[in-house]
Structure 1
Amino acid sequence: MDESTRKAAKRRASERAVEAVTDGDMVGLGSGSTAEHAIRLLGDKVEDGLDIVGVPTSFQAREVATDVGIELTTLEETAGRLDVAIDGADQFAGGDLIKGGGAAHAREKIVDSAAQELVIVVDPTKRADVLDAAVPVEILPDARRTAADAIRALDGEPTLRRAKHKSGPVVTDNGNLVFDCDFGELTDPATLASALSELPGVVEHGLFLDLADVVYLGTETGVERIEP
């Protein structure tokens, strides 16, 4: 799938996703290129009179939402409850997701978990029969050595994510580091998720299991609705 076709597929998925948002909703605003399409579409609806308040999942999501005129708040102000969240995924198999390509998965998981309905928007390149992409793991800087050793003990291979436009590693919005961890095919993602969560120094991992309520998969000709 070439880039223009993929971009069109993302937009189709986003167009379907924003239909879940109604007047007065508190909305979680996801991160990444596909979620950005959805935020901009919501901005168009706000300009036409839709009354919503958004909770961004990253600095990027905040910037886009502000640019298109969406009023923003925090989970503290919403009492930790949202009506709907729209987010993307780096890979999905059924209702299980891998997220964190933008290093925002810790806040994404907090916001997505707070939503009564989580809507995921993806293009066909994100679909898999079995999850096998590298799992992002956000770690405290002081845990770089110990967390890496513990991940290897789980049969994973951690690679410190390096920044593309500066010297040194990627630093998350929370001031932490990210390992991209190759575990091969994830035949038991739930067990791996639990094991990663228990490691000292791990802030959050990119396995989002049993959270999605619906996945909208944009295709070359339309949108496939998947209910996990």
Structure 2
Amino acid sequence: MNDAATFKQQAGEAAAALVEPGMVVGLGTGTTAIFAIRRIAARWRGGELPGLVAVATSTKTAVAAQALGIPLLGDDMPRAIDLVIDGADEVDPALDLIKGAGGALVREKIVAQASDRVVIVVDASKVSDALGSKALLPIEVLAWGWEAQLRYLTGLGATVTAREADGRRYLTDGGNMILDCGFGTITDPAGLAATLETRAGIAGHGLFVEIADDVFVAGPAGVEHRRRSRTG
């Protein structure tokens, strides 16, 4: 295992220690979240987490969780979620995020907003001084009329690329496209998020502003647990 994978495993396993018996846990999507999922599964199989059930943020995560034996709730999410553990593509000092490289940004945000506590796991390479410095911003759009959204986003100053996979148009679990957008340094994540949310045809975006409660960052010095400062 290389250093990056080791750090991802350390962050994921540290967050998995937060899971308690009887919880409803949201399971994120991506290369760091999978380490948390594996650790949760091991604890469940070992009898540490009786009553645990989970909600998967993507088809890929659901398949992995089922293979590991984790019981899943239905897609209608009939119960409140206690805790979600997920990865991120970039984290700024305020613990705001860019997510969506794994293609599950809309479902990830639905689960995050429905959870009492949102825990993010990353390796140190994902930390930056400002969002957009390291990661493109994924924006999920309806396939119908998608080039209108491309023109709109270009008009906002983004360099836009329609995501592909294996030489074909990439489609999310919801059947939508993803436009990967380079805005450069995003000085006002909340403002850009609000602008994007007014546009018909945009199903969701990868800016997660004031959503994360905890971030576990793993690097050469170990695992750092960062907590959002809440006021008021």
Tell me the TM-score normalised to structure 1 length: 0.95
Partner of 1:11: 9
Partner of 1:48: 46
Partner of 1:58: 58
Partner of 1:136: 138
Flag the structure with higher helix content.
1
**Equivalent pair of 1:8/1:220 in contact (CA under 8 Å):** no
Partner of 2:92: 93
Partner of 1:153: 155
The amino acid that maps onto 1:20 is L
The amino acid that maps onto 2:91 is F
Q: Specify which of 30, 33, 41 is matched with residue 28 of structure 2.
A: 30
**Equivalent pair of 1:75/1:111 in contact (CA under 8 Å):** no
1:20 matched to 2:22? The reply is no
Whole-angstrom CA distance in 2 between matches of 1:130 and 1:5: 24
Unmatched runs of 5 consecutive residues or more in structure 2: none
Whole-angstrom CA distance in 2 between matches of 1:4 and 1:193: 35
**Equivalent pair of 2:55/2:77 in contact (CA under 8 Å):** no
Partner of 2:164: 162
**Per-residue deviation, residues 67-118 of structure 1 (Å, max 9, x unmatched):** 1110000363434x20000000011102110000011000000001111000
Matching of residues 62-81 of structure 1 within 5 Å: 62-74=62-74, 76-79=76-79, 81=80
The amino acid that maps onto 2:117 is E
SS in 2 for 1:72: coil
Whole-angstrom CA distance in 2 between matches of 1:117 and 1:184: 30
Higher RCO structure (Cα 8 Å, ≥6 apart): 1
SS in 2 for 1:40: helix
Whole-angstrom CA distance in 2 between matches of 1:25 and 1:78: 14
The amino acid that maps onto 1:70 is I
Whole-angstrom CA distance in 1 between matches of 2:107 and 2:120: 16
Partner of 1:197: 197
Whole-angstrom CA distance in 1 between matches of 2:183 and 2:2: 32
The amino acid that maps onto 2:205 is H
Runs of 4 or more, structure 1, over 2 Å off, are 74-79
SS in 1 for 2:35: helix
**Per-residue deviation, residues 136-163 of structure 1 (Å, max 9, x unmatched):** 0000011211111111121112110111
What RMSD over aligned residues (CA atoms) do the two structures have, in Å? 1.2
Unmatched runs of 5 consecutive residues or more in structure 1: none
**Equivalent pair of 1:156/1:182 in contact (CA under 8 Å):** yes
Shift of 1:221: 3.9
Whole-angstrom CA distance in 1 between matches of 2:14 and 2:77: 28
Distance 1:203 1:77, change over 3 A: closer
The amino acid that maps onto 1:42 is I
SS in 1 for 2:112: helix
The percent of aligned pairs where both chains have the same amino acid is 39
